[in-house]
Amino acid sequence: MCGIIGYTGSGTGDVLDVLMTGLSGLEYRGYDSAGVAVANSSLEVYKREGEVSALENAVPDSDLDGLAGIGHTRWSTHGPPTDANAHPHTDDDGRVAVVHNGIIENYQALRRELEADGYTFTSDTDTEVVPHLIRSALDSGADRETAFRQAVQRLEGSYAVATVFNGSETVYAARNESPLVLGIGEDGHYLASDVPAFIEFTDRVVYLEDGQFARVNPSGIVVTDDQGAIVETAVETVDWDPEDAGKSGYDHYMLKEIHEQPTAIRKCLRERVTELEGSIDVAELADLEVEGPVQFVACGTSYHAALYGARLLRERGVPAQSFLASEYDVDAVPLPEGSLVVGVTQSGETADTMSALRAANRAGATTLALTNVVGSSAARECDHVMYIRAGPEIGVAATKTFVSQQVALAMLSSVVSGRGSQEFAQQLRALPDQIQQVLDESTAREVAAAYEDADAYFFIGRGYNAPVALEGALKMKEITYNHAEGFAAGELKHGPLALVTDSTPVFALVTEGDDVSKTLGNVKEVEARDAPIVAVTDIPDQVSAYADHVLEVPSSGPRFTPILANIQLQLVAYWIANRLDRSIDKPRNLAKSVTVK
């Protein structure tokens, strides 16, 4: 969940600038605290509770020169967000500094051992055992790289860890079940949790694998295995424009990314959909053969997309189920021969989803990653990968990646079932322009003004609208901090109706091809309890009489109109959060890439 950055350059005076730029690019991964360590003859460490801006204010105005450095932005797991718990952590004498993303499961035993040996701890974190382990190895006569290796080999759990020493221009790093990518630049070399940390400086990357170590200095990058043998690595080029990671004049990344959705969908569809022939051809899936059922594993927003994808497949005669990755159990869920397990994960690093995919691999299933990040763990470890091509998404609340996942899953359903049609292809190709129409004509801002003071928000929908109702509620919760619930429309009367009052607006997704009469029946049930109704619909003439407000969307068939309805719900959540002055891009307690279980 945290973000780490490391840099070593051929020049001087630029280490701190690179670290601060990298932390700004990683702040979506955590913003409870931030810190840097710059190595020269000693280690200069600065860290502060709060966002990166608090750290910027704490660093001296004078140039902080150095040979190498590391930085960290934290999402708290062990201990509250305080200056003491912020990374980097150091040994007692400040000769070793460490940043870490992940969970060290055996840290308590290691801490007891180190305390018994006289090492002093000043934080509540699991990470602080690492610099003390390194120092212990140094005290026993090990050189720096050996000491780092010995320390890492004692860790149990997930980690991406980076270390610098006083007087050294080298950054040492290792990973296990947490992402770490290396960047190769002309004037220096980088490591980070994710590419946005250094995309401004280079687009040439090497993805570190589990169990591998890296030695990064101005001369280059050396990757070794857990035994110290050099590993040949492939250098890849990331197809991201540095400007894609900026706000481009929008007040928030989230609003920018909502408005990027037409472009994201065009990229997702490019060279995959032939409208005239009605064909869908995904090159990455050319050799995919599915003879059994399909199981989706995912978390959060991606799980809602998976629900949508499973329904598409079932409609085409392919048995399909969706599972919360954290609850997936291959011993309890039958995996018939020929099964395909699809991990839906924006980052390709989600810990629960990776755990489920690895379990499916061990059980003999074919695995497919549906992800946004080239070279991510899911992309590398699965048998097949399909990229959603949404580009960088910085806002913690997923928007354009959810829509891109839905569109990619629609194409996947056609490939797996072998059932495409010209109408299906035409509807897909029409989506970008229809999304733009929604963005241009939406009255969501006015709806937000009417209901910003509501006690709670309910979202209901049937069929393909049901996952969108769940996602609409999640967006509302994430960025407004207000209570919101999403339901399949028929479930509202089976208990939740007890919570409905005149201060709980109900957002009803009612679209053509859905069982409109039944959903309108559910609308009447809440209307009878004086709840305000906001209808999201492509058939306003049938629905307006039952609604206090109507958010219109174009008609795009029963499978794709819900995608357009989702855009309206994103905008409502955004504008309510904006009116409430919430931290929209960095909602409290949340982070973008969930790399802990």
Relative orientation angle of helices 400-417 and 300-315, to the nearest 10 degrees: 30
Mention every residue, 6+ apart, whose C-beta is less than 8 A from residue 54. 34, 48
Residue type, 291: E
Among 475, 507, 485, which residue's Cα sits nearest to residue 573? 475
Q: What b/e sequence results for 442-461 when a residue is b if at least 16 CB atoms lie within 10 Å of its CB, and e otherwise?
A: bebeebbeebeebebbbbbb
Residue 333 Cα to chain centre, angstroms: 26
Decide: 128 and 122 in contact? Cβ < 8 Å.
Answer: yes
Q: Is 468 in contact with 566 (CB distance < 8 Å)? A: yes
Residue (of 398, 423, 401, 418) closest to 267 by Cα position: 401
256 as an active site residue: the answer is: no
Helix pair 144-153, 129-139: axis angle to 10 deg: 130
Q: Supply the DSSP string of 195-243, one letter for each residue.
A: GGGTTTT--EEEEPPTT-EEEEETTEEEEE-TTS-B-----EE----GG
Residue 542 half-sphere exposure toward CB, CA atoms < 13 A? 18
Active site residue 299: no
Distance, CA of 263 to chain centre: 19
DSSP readout, 271-285?
A: TTEETTTTEE--GGG
8-state DSSP, 244: G
Dmax over CA atoms of the chain, in Å, equals 81
Supply the DSSP symbol for 299.
Answer: -
Q: In what order do the strands lie in the sheet with 384-387?
A: 320-324, 294-298, 340-345, 366-371, 384-387
The dihedrals phi and psi of 4, each to the nearest 5 degrees, come to -125, 150
Q: Which of 47, 268, 592, 597 is catalytic?
A: 592
What per-residue string of b and e applies to 228-237 under the rule 16 or more CB within 10 Å gives b? eeeeebeeee
Nearest in space to 485 (alpha carbons), one of 455, 505, 457: 457
Q: Could you check whether the bond before residue 334 is cis, i.e. omega within 30 degrees of 0?
A: no
Q: Which residues pair with 224 in a beta bridge?
A: 213, 230
Q: Which pair of tokens denotes residue 492?
A: 């509202």
Among the listed residues 2, 268, 299, 382, the single catalytic one is: 2
What gap in Å lies between CA 444 and CA 567, rounded to an integer?
10
Instruction: Please give the distance of CA 40 from its chain centroid, rounded to a whole number.
Output: 35
User: What b/e readout covers 511-522, taking b as 16+ CB neighbours within 10 angstroms?
Assistant: bebbebeebbeb
User: What residues are labeled active site?
Assistant: 2, 592
